[in-house]
């Protein structure tokens, strides 16, 4: 849709406004992280002292480590479960409970977090009463909660990839003598790899970002990074939180740009090869 | 020459030949839609059999049932005497070349071709040897390490063919094998396919919507429409002796005259056509009695055009005015308006180069049409 | 091994050895089937246990009587002395929600704030998505990346950034004072306005992305055909572009509206005590008042409000998957 489009001044204005709206707050966050003054919106000269404060805080380190641990473990499980669910929903035809299953896959995408959080907590309490597990809430309960809602996101990505993929390749493998399980391992899963990677990253980010569900299902002693940030910002502005935000933004920006760059290079390489082979 | 020898190229004529593929009363529904409707078919070893028809006629469904991707709603399929109906695709002695080629994008050409052999648990050295052999055969020797997206369309087509052939299937199924190629490449590849087929002696079943492709390639063609076979026969039989108006007009172009049989004898039939009114004489007998309503098909290239009136009055003659000319280079198509405002299509080779754009027959010229007794075919439906 | 030797033998013989015994066939058939069942069963079971079952617990507790104990509710099913089972279902919690204006107002307020925010997101997001679709390929990729990037950064920190902008000594007030539009700082933080800003800011990418995905499928030649047939640009927009992008509008709106209705962080951080939304009330009932039955009733009532939009979203998702197949 890109050719012969005249630049509409209205569209360009809206685009610039939208980008400014999205990025100015983030820019200000970064800007004030280098503020010497303890009162955030008042400029007191350039300083990196909040970064030092941040790095020296044991509390912050503990929260970061807990959050990363939860995020990486829950992302792995969510990717496995979500991929299985996606394959089952798209490739196995209609089985008993199909509608219920697909409903349970999409519901977490839009379910208000307060509801998911509350209901999971009540489940954990009930399980604890009946089975004696979980004995105490924290790392394990947060991980289970995160697996549950992020597997839905993975499943949706996988579902959409699979649906867009013709069954030709899988049929061709069967035709060449591969049994269904073999087809899954040799053909379907490798082709789904990019989708699974995207799913893992998404699950990882969702877990790192979650405050509410973690607040509900966490127990004493287990404080994730968002929970720590929240407990601080509720009572006002903290320059060290600005510093933390800056670090997160920089890490994410580098990651996204790197990913974008790699994808662009692959695309170009592929296009070049296709041109060379005479297409 | 003994009777037996004359059947070598035409096993379907041999009453003693055992069919290699036997399809018995195959039906396939998708919910309410009947894709394939109670079809019987026998294909013999070494044939190159085409299923020809428009989209949605059921040809692909039939092919997919042969491959095992669809389970028939009713009927049985036998290949080489074994009932294959309930055998899953990965256990059938049948391989398929997909319309999209379905080359695994994450594997090299070699790996693609070796895939089927590895599934059979064939020894590594043997796999390597056979992959090399088949790559040589399809002239892709140096391309083994490439990925599919690094190949041109024609090369991909050959990889797909090699991958299906390397397993030495009893039957090779080809779904629109030349569909994705451009016209020039298609013509060249047609002959390559025929050479490979006759060299290996594998039975080919081809699905195509392209009648020219079917005519060139096949030993026999089955023309399909709405899930049934309309006619099955050699390309010549189908073209020269169509059984119905549907076939006559689907395969090539034709002129159809409606009329009644006025004389039916052992060696010829005479039909009185109306609109335009004329007598048509055909040099073979017909099974229907005199007075029956029939149709006569006369192919455009069988009709001779002339500027001078015929000397004697006889059947198979018409007079008309050239109303349209389509110049196609090696031949021209003329529309001749005859009595009753009917247009007759005639094609005639351009043996002489037209001077200053003047054709042998020009617009509004009065012309005379005639054809041989052997040119027309009587159609009863 | 014998099978392998056979398959090497040669042409048209039997690269394809069929299993000889029907028993073997049956066994392999069963294996194949069970393997598939496992693929279905594992995620299915997980969701039943950790997604569906919890709702029934919430439902159960919402129908129980509150008490000061641990857990802070009375069991619904109890054994009386003579071995009679007593099932006690209490709808008091729901009646309480209905009778107290605070809750009713909060519900209405939540839906209104979410609805208005969704509409603002649509007004902003539609032209932005359209501008991205019409941009040249390279620019398009960069713009898309810019829209997605905030999504990967911490949601909490992006809301936090607005505190610095909206507070009395914040950048917006500074700017307005500097220009001279106002003489003294105006109150922006802890108002309804701040909540709107926060929701629109947070959920704008959720509106833009589905719209973009939908618009990209739009065939440009349709617009050319319309203009070729004499339609002016604005008429073309109204008669061709807009109707064809309705699926994107609905998907984007649902993705904003549903989570925004149950939003907790934004009203808490930017709205202060002045803006009541259901999410906050639920959390407070649960964490501060320790009233689990009422918190559960609030959750069930919130679900009732959202069940229709959620079903609609579910249907759109299913249709999209089917359309791709």
- Interatomic CA distance for residues B165 and A170, integer angstroms: 18
Within a domain: C35: yes
Give the three-state DSSP class for A116. helix
- The Cα of A72 is separated from the nearest Cα of chain B by a number of Å equal to 27
Range of the domain at C55: 2-87
Q: Considering only CA atoms, which of C170, C198, C201, C174 is closest in space to residue C279?
A: C198
Q: Which residues of B touch C14 (CB under 8 A)?
A: 93
Kindly provide the b/e burial profile for residues C145-183, where b requires at least 16 CB atoms within 10 angstroms of the residue's own CB.
bbbebbbbbbbbbbbbbbbbbbbeebbbbeeeeeeeeee
Answer with the one of B192, B212, B245 that is the final residue of a domain: B245
Within a domain: C250: yes
Within a domain: B230: yes
Can you tell me the ipTM of this complex? 0.88
Within a domain: A68: yes
A contact residues 49-78, partner C, Cβ 8 Å cutoff: none
Backbone angles phi, psi at B30, to 5 degrees: -115, 105
Within a domain: C251: yes
Proportion of chain C in helix, strand, coil states, percent, rounded to 5: 75, 0, 25
Q: Which residues neighbour A129 within 8 Å (Cβ) at sequence distance 6 or greater?
A: C71
Digits of tens for pLDDT over chain C (325 positions)?
A: 334 343 333 344 344 444 455 666 676 666 666 788 888 889 999 999 999 999 999 988 888 876 666 666 766 655 556 556 566 667 777 887 788 888 888 999 999 999 999 999 999 999 999 999 988 888 888 898 889 888 888 889 999 999 888 888 888 888 888 888 888 888 888 899 999 999 999 999 999 999 999 999 888 888 888 888 888 888 888 888 899 999 999 999 999 999 999 999 999 999 887 788 888 888 888 888 788 888 888 899 898 888 888 888 888 877 877 777 7
Q: For C163, which of A23, A110, A237 is closest by C-beta distance?
A: A237
Query: Where are the strands (E) in C76-213, listed by range?
Result: 77-79, 85-87
Within a domain: C195: yes
Within a domain: A117: yes
pLDDT tens digit sequence for C157-200: 999 999 888 888 888 888 888 888 888 888 888 899 999 999 99
Query: Where are the strands (E) in chain A, listed by range?
Result: none
Range of the domain at A80: 61-239
- Interatomic CA distance for residues A42 and A53, integer angstroms: 19
Q: At what angle do helices A98-110 and C292-324 cross, to 10 degrees?
A: 110
B136, B240: one domain = yes
Inter-chain CB pairs, A–B, below 8 Å: 75
Total of domains in chain C: 2
- The Cα of C2 is separated from the nearest Cα of chain B by a number of Å equal to 11
Q: Which residues of B touch A177 (CB under 8 A)?
A: 90-91, 116, 119-120, 167
B200, B81: one domain = yes
CA distances from C311 to A103, A106, B333, C245, C320 (A): 9, 9, 62, 20, 14
Tokens, residue A62: 């503990």
C121, C247: one domain = yes
The domain that contains A102 carries what CATH number?
Answer: 1.10.3720.10
- Residues A25 and C201: beta-carbon distance below 8 Å: yes
The domain that contains C193 carries what CATH number?
Answer: 1.10.3720.10
Digits of tens for pLDDT over chain A (279 positions)?
A: 444 455 688 889 999 999 999 999 999 889 888 988 877 667 788 888 889 888 888 999 999 999 999 999 999 999 999 999 999 998 887 888 888 888 888 888 888 889 999 999 999 988 988 888 888 888 999 999 999 999 999 999 999 899 888 889 999 999 999 988 899 999 999 999 999 999 999 999 999 999 999 999 998 889 999 999 999 888 777 888 889 999 999 998 898 888 888 888 888 888 887 777 755
Range of the domain at B194: 17-245
What is the edge-to-edge ordering of all strands in the sheet holding B331-338?
Answer: B304-306, B366-370, B317-327, B331-338, B342-349
C-alpha A44 chain-centroid distance: 36
Within a domain: B170: yes
The residue in chain B having the minimum alpha-carbon distance to the alpha carbon of residue C10 is B168
With CB atoms and an 8 Å threshold, state whether B90 touches A177.
yes
Q: Which residues of A touch B30 (CB under 8 A)?
A: none
CA distances from B252 to A209, B214, B236, B242, B255 (A): 67, 12, 12, 11, 10
The domain that contains B277 carries what CATH number?
Answer: 2.40.50.140
Give the three-state DSSP class for C68. coil
- Residues C285 and A141: beta-carbon distance below 8 Å: no
With CB atoms and an 8 Å threshold, state whether B120 touches C12.
no
Within a domain: A124: yes
- B18 to chain C, any CB pair closer than 8 A? The answer is no
B282, B305: one domain = yes
Total of domains in chain A: 1
């Amino acid at each position: 849709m890109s050719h012969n489009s005249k630049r509409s001044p209205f569209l360009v204005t809206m685009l610039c406004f939208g980008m400014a709206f999205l990025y100015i707050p983030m820019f200000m966050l970064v800007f004030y992280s280098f503020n010497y003054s303890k009162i955030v919106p008042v400029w007191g000269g350039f300083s990196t002292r909040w970064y030092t404060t941040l790095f020296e805080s044991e509390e912050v380190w503990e929260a970061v480590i807990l959050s990363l641990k939860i995020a990486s473990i829950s992302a792995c499980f969510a990717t496995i479960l979500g991929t299985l669910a996606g394959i089952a929903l798209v490739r196995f035809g209609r089985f008993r409970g199909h509608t219920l299953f697909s409903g349970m896959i999409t519901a977490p995408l839009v379910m208000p977090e307060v509801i998911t959080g509350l209901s999971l907590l009540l489940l954990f309490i009930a399980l604890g009463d009946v089975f004696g597990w979980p004995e105490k809430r924290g790392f394990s309960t947060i991980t289970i909660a995160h697996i549950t809602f992020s597997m839905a996101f993975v499943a949706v990505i996988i579902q959409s990839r699979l649906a867009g993929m013709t069954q030709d390749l899988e049929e061709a493998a069967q035709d060449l003598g591969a049994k269904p399980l073999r087809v899954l391992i040799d053909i379907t899963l490798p082709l789904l790899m990019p989708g699974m990677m995207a799913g893992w990253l998404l699950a990882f980010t969702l877990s790192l970002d979650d405050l509410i569900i973690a607040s509900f299902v966490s127990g004493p002693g287990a404080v994730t990074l968002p929970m720590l940030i929240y407990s601080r910002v509720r009572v006002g502005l903290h320059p060290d939180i600005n510093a933390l935000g800056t670090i997160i933004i920089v890490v994410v920006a580098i990651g996204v740009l790197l990913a974008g760059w790699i994808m662009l290079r692959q695309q170009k390489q592929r296009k070049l090869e296709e041109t060379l082979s005479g297409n | 020459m003994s009777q037996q020898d004359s059947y070598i190229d035409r096993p379907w004529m041999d009453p003693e030949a055992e069919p290699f593929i036997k399809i018995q009363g195959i039906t396939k529904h998708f919910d309410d839609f009947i894709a394939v409707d109670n079809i019987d078919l026998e294909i013999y070893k070494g044939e190159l059999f085409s299923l020809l028809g428009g989209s949605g006629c059921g040809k692909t469904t039939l092919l997919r049932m042969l491959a095992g991707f669809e389970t028939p709603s009713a009927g049985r399929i036998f290949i080489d005497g074994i009932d294959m109906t309930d055998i899953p695709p990965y256990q059938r002695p049948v391989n398929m070349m997909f319309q999209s080629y379905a080359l695994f994008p994450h594997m090299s050409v070699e790996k693609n071709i070796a895939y089927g052999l590895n599934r059979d648990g064939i020894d590594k050295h043997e796999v390597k040897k056979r992959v090399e052999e088949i790559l040589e055969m399809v002239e892709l020797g140096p391309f083994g390490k490439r990925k599919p997206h690094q190949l041109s369309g024609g090369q991909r087509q050959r990889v797909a063919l090699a991958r299906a052939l390397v397993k030495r299937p009893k039957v090779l199924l080809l779904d629109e094998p030349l569909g994705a190629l451009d016209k020039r490449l298609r013509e060249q590849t047609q002959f390559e396919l025929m050479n490979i087929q006759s060299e290996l002696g594998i039975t080919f079943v081809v699905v195509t919507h392209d009648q020219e492709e079917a005519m060139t390639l096949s030993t026999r063609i089955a023309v399909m429409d709405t899930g049934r076979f309309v006619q099955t026969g050699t390309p010549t039989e189908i073209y020269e002796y169509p059984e119905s108006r549907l076939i006559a007009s689907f395969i090539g172009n034709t002129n159809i005259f409606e009329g009644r049989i006025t004389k039916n004898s052992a060696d010829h039939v005479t039909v009185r056509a109306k609109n335009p009114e004329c007598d048509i004489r055909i040099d073979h007998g017909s099974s229907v009695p005199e007075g029956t309503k029939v149709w006569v098909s006369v192919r455009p290239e069988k009709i001779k055009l002339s500027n001078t009136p015929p000397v004697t009055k006889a059947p198979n003659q018409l007079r008309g005015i050239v109303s349209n000319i389509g110049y196609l280079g090696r031949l021209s198509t003329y529309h001749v308006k005859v009595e009753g405002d009917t247009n007759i299509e005639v094609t005639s080779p351009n043996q002489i180069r037209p001077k200053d754009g003047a054709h042998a027959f020009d617009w509004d010229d009065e012309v005379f049409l005639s054809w041989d007794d052997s040119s027309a075919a009587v159609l009863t439906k | 091994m014998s099978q392998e030797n056979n398959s090497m033998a040669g042409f048209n013989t039997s690269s394809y050895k069929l299993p000889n015994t029907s028993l073997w066939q049956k066994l392999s058939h069963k294996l194949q089937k069970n393997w598939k069942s496992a693929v279905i069963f594992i995620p299915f079971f997980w969701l039943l246990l950790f997604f569906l079952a919890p709702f029934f617990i919430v439902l159960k507790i919402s129908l129980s009587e509150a008490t000061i104990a641990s857990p802070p509710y009375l069991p619904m099913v109890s054994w009386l002395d003579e071995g009679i089972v007593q099932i006690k279902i209490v709808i008091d919690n729901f009646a309480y929600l209905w009778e107290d204006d605070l809750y009713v107002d909060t519900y209405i307020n939540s839906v209104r704030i979410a609805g208005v925010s969704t509409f603002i997101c649509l007004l902003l997001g539609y032209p932005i998505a359209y501008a991205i679709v019409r941009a040249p390929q390279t620019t398009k990729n960069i713009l898309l990346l810019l829209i997605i990037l905030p999504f990967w950064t911490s949601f909490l920190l992006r809301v936090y950034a607005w505190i610095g902008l909206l507070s009395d000594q914040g950048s917006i007030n500074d700017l307005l004072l500097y220009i001279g539009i106002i003489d003294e700082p105006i109150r922006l933080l802890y108002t309804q306005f701040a909540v709107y800003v926060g929701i629109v800011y947070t959920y704008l990418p959720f509106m833009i992305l589905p719209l973009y995905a939908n618009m990209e499928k739009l065939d440009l030649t349709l617009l050319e055909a319309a203009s070729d047939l004499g339609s002016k640009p604005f008429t073309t927009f109204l008669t061709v572009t807009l109707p064809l992008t309705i699926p994107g509008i609905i998907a984007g709106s649902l993705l904003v509206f549903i989570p925004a209705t149950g939003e907790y962080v934004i009203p808490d951080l930017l709205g202060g005590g002045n803006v009541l939304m259901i999410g906050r009330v639920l959390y407070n009932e649960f964490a501060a008042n320790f009233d689990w039955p009422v918190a559960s009733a609030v959750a069930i009532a919130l679900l009732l409000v959202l069940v229709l939009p959620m079903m609609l979203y579910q249907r759109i998702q299913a249709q999209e998957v089917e359309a791709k197949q």
